[in-house]
Amino acid sequence: MKRAQPYQPSEIEPKWQAKWEKDNLYRSLIDYSKKKHYALTMLPYPSGDLHIGHWYAMAPSDARARFMRMRGYNVLFPMGFDAFGLPAENAAVKHGIHPKQWTYSNIERMRKQLRSMGAMFDWEREAISSDPEYYRWTQWFFLKLFKHDLAYRKMAPVDWCPQCNTTLAREQVWGEDRHCERCGTPVIKKNLEQWFFRITKYAEELLDFSHLDWPERVRVLQTNWIGRSEGAMVRFSTEQGDDLEVFTTRPDTLWGATFMVLAPEHPLVEKITTPEHREEVAEYVLLTLRQSDIQREALGKEKTGVFTGGYAVNPVNNERIPIWIADYVLMTYGTGAIMAVPAHDERDFEFALKFGLPIIPVIQHPRALRKSLIRRSFVTEEFVQYLQENHMAKGEDQGALEVSLEEDQINDFVVHAQRGLTHGWIEIVGAEWMFIFPDQTLTLSSIQADREILARIQRIDAATRSYRTTMEYLWNQPYYRDVLYHAEYGDMIHSGELSGTKGEEAIQKVIRWLETRGIGQAKVNYRLRDWLISRQRYWGAPIPIIYCSRCGIVPVPEDQLPVLLPEDVEWLPTGESPLKLHPTWRFTSCPTCGGPAERETDTMDTFMCSSWYHLRYLSPKYDQGPFDPEEYDYWMPVDTYTGGIEHATMHLIYTRFFHKACRDMGITKGPEPMIQLRNQGIILGEDSEKMSKSRGNVVAPDELVEKYGADTVRAYLMFFARWDQGAPWSSTGIEGTARWLRKVWATILEEPQTQNQASPETLRTLRRKVHQTIRSVTRDYEQFEFNTVISSLMELLNVMVDAKEAGAFGTPEWEEAIDIYLRLMAPATPHIAEELWFLLGKPYSIHTQPWPEVDEEAAKEEMFTLVIQINGRVRDRVELPVSASEEEAKRAALESPIVQKHLSGSAPKQVIYVRGRLVNIVVN
């Protein structure tokens, strides 16, 4: 027996990596004779150490890129670094190293670690966002956006991270406590003059995913983030004659608007506040401003607000309604003002009840009961009998009958009620809003009616005198509570000429009605805000703007780019941009008038750098533009993009916006930058907790590579979980993958220990499994199902081991099997595949070989297991040739002794036959 050399990844892996690099094996050049495939994995931040998460993102992506290459595509799979950003500055503060030095030495280290992965990166295309040759073009894009009015500067309340000492985009503020996405510190509000990109201009187009093959999850996240809502703008006016516009999604409830609420910051507040309310309003505004957003938006917080003394006119019914201010109305959404319809909006309902504002129902509840609480003391005994005889009284509580009525009982009830009332009144609420008095019936249909009803019942019952509105009285009858408020669609009531409008057409009909009268129109509103890109930090691309006292905001001329970052700065965090504290850098001359001027000292959000890195990869050294148009036309768009889902509402929305804006400026082409997106999951620590240094559960890929070799790590990462889900790490699990590779090695290289002559069946079975595996591995790579790629290969190996034992070694079928096996494993485990390929004397390199084709004939099964069920339960199995007819299958099933026993003479009711699978005998 010949023993082969043992499998030594630490020897073969560096050897092949060096050779591939020397031979330029992964250089990706334009080749018009081939179909291109641009595979991109998200740009890593050079934090200093490649962690297992990087491997998890990149190694399976690399395997797939390699697979595409073997399938005949010209594949571009580039790598680079998102090299600007805060950690470099934090390290500078902590260790006294310059951010640039820290960053570039980290990059050096990570390049080495990345090379140990054996990935097919084309390093000639590496791009580093902090290189002046890179950020020159980041600045150039800024200027283009500025020129096309897509970048603008404004004073605004912005989110500020006190830990990072900088402003953040809305997308970078996370969670209920509104913390900084990077460091977890709760943010505060600051009023600052900042630069924004007009991403909101693209809100509608960003909702269109029809050109994208992206996970549903990401599309839903982005859709929710953009937050489209349809409704109407309605023009109310103040008594002073100012227009007061509101956005509403429920124009059908307009007739129920009984007051208005402005955000405390609303510009009209000053003007409408009357002298006697001035002090109270000023105090409230101040209080609101002092509160953090977290306090202000804390849920479950009781509503607060104050009356301004001012009044508005509801344009649909000319009702005079009070204007309040309250912090539950946000200046940043809609117009910063709302019409309050307390009967059909939970927040307004709560507010109205608290402050005694009238509540008028204007939408019929689709299912509500008609409820009435009838005090015995108000009515005759005959009437009580009437209620009981007709089963209207369902209960009794403290001398009051709890009545509920069907629609067809109402008329009869009203007649009896008026006769039965000795004094007092009877109300019906829910699907009706009637107050029946002996002499008349009133309906709660307007503010006026609310006052009349309240006045009458207060005259009758002194106990109701503390109530400020009719609804407040009703609310204090617990029996009514569930029918007093609802936010559903329904038929319009109490709405003047539009009363009776059906729920399903109400909104559209009201909008048309408003439009013909010129008091409102349809309007779509978005939750999305413009992208705040100013950062008060040093290590970023300077915003290429100059402020001149004579010429105002002046863009740096393109030919003066890049605006270089000075290297001699103080980085100690002060809350001001370090560039502002530099003794000379900010002082310059105006490009327009030549007079003294100052540079913008803020730098750009690093998401700006990563919005276009996929373009810089195309031609990282090109200096006539951000990218070489020829490269663009060949490679773009990105065909598959892989990375984590955490960027769903940040990078992935920014880069889509960026592409669309550039398209409209004539720079890029096509609807989308990245066609197919796939997300990998997260690897947890072995304790099922999130990996972190403090928990001590971090898995270090360098150590794994040293112990097992890169191929084992790559294969294990592909195998151990569904790629899109991730799972806890297992240090015993990886042993299984290591065993698999050792077994491959031994199976292919070692002489067999058997004298057996392989039977034709053995060889046939071997070939069948080989070709079936080509089919499944190909399909699984296409679908990013990497775990089953590896398990199929393991299965095939098990069959090969059996075949070898049975004497297949050395036969043509065996040679074919190992040839195909190595090709199939080459994308996942490139080094061992290359080494074995080499040892077998096959032509270098396996990675330039074509992907194997399925021989359909060989893959065909000859026999199959016919499952025999009785009443859907498996009772027996029998082997049949694939060619067996329905009759043969049914006969085989019915002849089965087990079936005979179960049938015990009786005839089957039905026999169901599924070709190639089963026979199901139904016997009752």
Stretch 859-888 residues interacting with RNA (CB under 7 A): 864-865, 867, 869, 871-874, 877
Give whole-number Cα distances, 300 to 179, 341, 348, 487, in Å: 20, 20, 14, 19
Closer Cβ to RNA, 632 or 708, answer by number = 708
Kindly state the tokens that stand for 324.
């309040």
Residues 290-309 that bind RNA (CB under 7 A): 296-299, 301, 303
Residues 317-346 that bind RNA (CB under 7 A): 327-334, 336, 338-339, 345
The backbone torsions φ and ψ at residue 870, rounded to the nearest 5 degrees and listed phi first, read: -120, 120
- Rounded to whole angstroms, the Cα distance separating 256 from 717 reads 60
Letters for 256-295 (x = contact with RNA by CB under 7 A, - = none) are: -------x--------------------------------
Q: Figure out which of the listed residues 783, 848, 885, 900 binds RNA, where binding follows CB under 7 A.
A: 783
Q: Parallel, antiparallel, or unpaired for β 74-76 and 36-41?
A: parallel
> Tokens 């059909």 map to which residue?
344
- Rounded to whole angstroms, the Cα distance separating 808 from 802 reads 9
- 183, 159 Cβ separation under 8 angstroms: no
Closer Cβ to RNA, 188 or 801, answer by number = 801
Closer Cβ to RNA, 739 or 891, answer by number = 739
Q: Is 575 in the site for RNA (CB under 7 A)?
A: no
Least distance from C-beta 771 to RNA, angstroms?
16
- Rounded to whole angstroms, the Cα distance separating 410 from 408 reads 6
Least distance from C-beta 329 to RNA, angstroms?
4
Burial of 290 (0-12, 13-18, 19+ CB in 10 A): exposed
Least distance from C-beta 583 to RNA, angstroms?
41
Q: Figure out which of the listed residues 210, 584, 624, 732 binds RNA, where binding follows CB under 7 A.
A: 732
- Rounded to whole angstroms, the Cα distance separating 597 from 589 reads 5
Closer Cβ to RNA, 499 or 730, answer by number = 730
Q: Which stretch binds RNA (CB under 7 A): 244-252, 397-405, 507-515, 592-600?
A: 244-252
Helices 52-70 + 710-719 axis angle, to 10: 90
Residue type, 371: K
Q: How many other CB atoms sit within 10 Å of the CB of residue 291? A: 14
Q: Parallel, antiparallel, or unpaired for β 910-914 and 873-881?
A: unpaired
Rg, Å, the chain Cα set: 37
Which residue, 863, 868, 830, 864, is CA-closest to 849? 830
- 831, 710 Cβ separation under 8 angstroms: yes
Closer Cβ to RNA, 152 or 328, answer by number = 328
Least distance from C-beta 643 to RNA, angstroms?
15
Q: Is 105 in the site for RNA (CB under 7 A)?
A: no
Q: Figure out which of the listed residues 204, 735, 751, 761 binds RNA, where binding follows CB under 7 A.
A: 735
Closer Cβ to RNA, 204 or 558, answer by number = 204
Residues 620-649 that bind RNA (CB under 7 A): 645, 649
Closer Cβ to RNA, 172 or 640, answer by number = 172
- 657, 206 Cβ separation under 8 angstroms: yes
Q: Is 225 in the site for RNA (CB under 7 A)?
A: yes
Q: Figure out which of the listed residues 385, 508, 798, 885 binds RNA, where binding follows CB under 7 A.
A: 798
Closer Cβ to RNA, 56 or 140, answer by number = 56
Q: Is 209 in the site for RNA (CB under 7 A)?
A: no
Q: Figure out which of the listed residues 19, 190, 198, 347 binds RNA, where binding follows CB under 7 A.
A: 347
Q: Figure out which of the listed residues 112, 217, 320, 669 binds RNA, where binding follows CB under 7 A.
A: 217
Least distance from C-beta 547 to RNA, angstroms?
32
Closer Cβ to RNA, 465 or 877, answer by number = 877
Q: Figure out which of the listed residues 30, 644, 736, 756 binds RNA, where binding follows CB under 7 A.
A: 736
Least distance from C-beta 171 to RNA, angstroms?
8
Residues 499-528 that bind RNA (CB under 7 A): 525, 527
Least distance from C-beta 495 to RNA, angstroms?
17
Residues 829-848 that bind RNA (CB under 7 A): none
- Rounded to whole angstroms, the Cα distance separating 130 from 123 reads 17
- Output DSSP code: residue 666: T
> Tokens 């307009």 map to which residue?
254
3-state secondary structure of 111: helix
Q: Which stretch binds RNA (CB under 7 A): 182-190, 397-405, 754-762, 781-789?
A: 781-789
Residues 712-731 that bind RNA (CB under 7 A): 719-722, 725, 727-728, 730
Q: Figure out which of the listed residues 113, 464, 791, 849 binds RNA, where binding follows CB under 7 A.
A: 791
161-167: which pairs have CB atoms within 8 A and are 24 or more residues apart?
A: 161/185, 161/187, 162/187, 162/188, 164/86, 164/537, 165/536, 165/537, 165/573, 165/574, 165/575, 166/86, 166/535, 166/536, 166/537, 167/192, 167/194, 167/532, 167/534, 167/535, 167/536
Q: Is 912 in the site for RNA (CB under 7 A)?
A: yes
- 243, 267 Cβ separation under 8 angstroms: no
Least distance from C-beta 379 to RNA, angstroms?
39
- 609, 541 Cβ separation under 8 angstroms: yes
The answer for 726, left when phi > 0, alpha when psi is -120 to 50, beta otherwise, is left
Residues 647-666 that bind RNA (CB under 7 A): 649
Q: Figure out which of the listed residues 242, 664, 795, 855 binds RNA, where binding follows CB under 7 A.
A: 795
Least distance from C-beta 217 to RNA, angstroms?
5
Interface with RNA (CB under 7 A), residue total 87
Question: Does residue 438 have a cis bond before it (omega within 30 degrees)?
Answer: no
Closer Cβ to RNA, 300 or 666, answer by number = 300
Closer Cβ to RNA, 186 or 566, answer by number = 186
Q: 787-811 burial string, b = 16+ CB within 10 Å, else e?
A: bbbbbbbbebbebbeebbebbbbeb
Q: Figure out which of the listed residues 282, 581, 801, 858 binds RNA, where binding follows CB under 7 A.
A: 801
Q: Is 231 in the site for RNA (CB under 7 A)?
A: yes
Least distance from C-beta 292 to RNA, angstroms?
12
Letters for 168-207 (x = contact with RNA by CB under 7 A, - = none) are: ------xxx-------------------------------
3-state secondary structure of 79: coil
Question: Does residue 637 have a cis bond before it (omega within 30 degrees)?
Answer: yes
Kindly state the tokens that stand for 74.
């010209």
Residues 739-778 that bind RNA (CB under 7 A): 739-740, 742-743, 776
Least distance from C-beta 47 to RNA, angstroms?
20
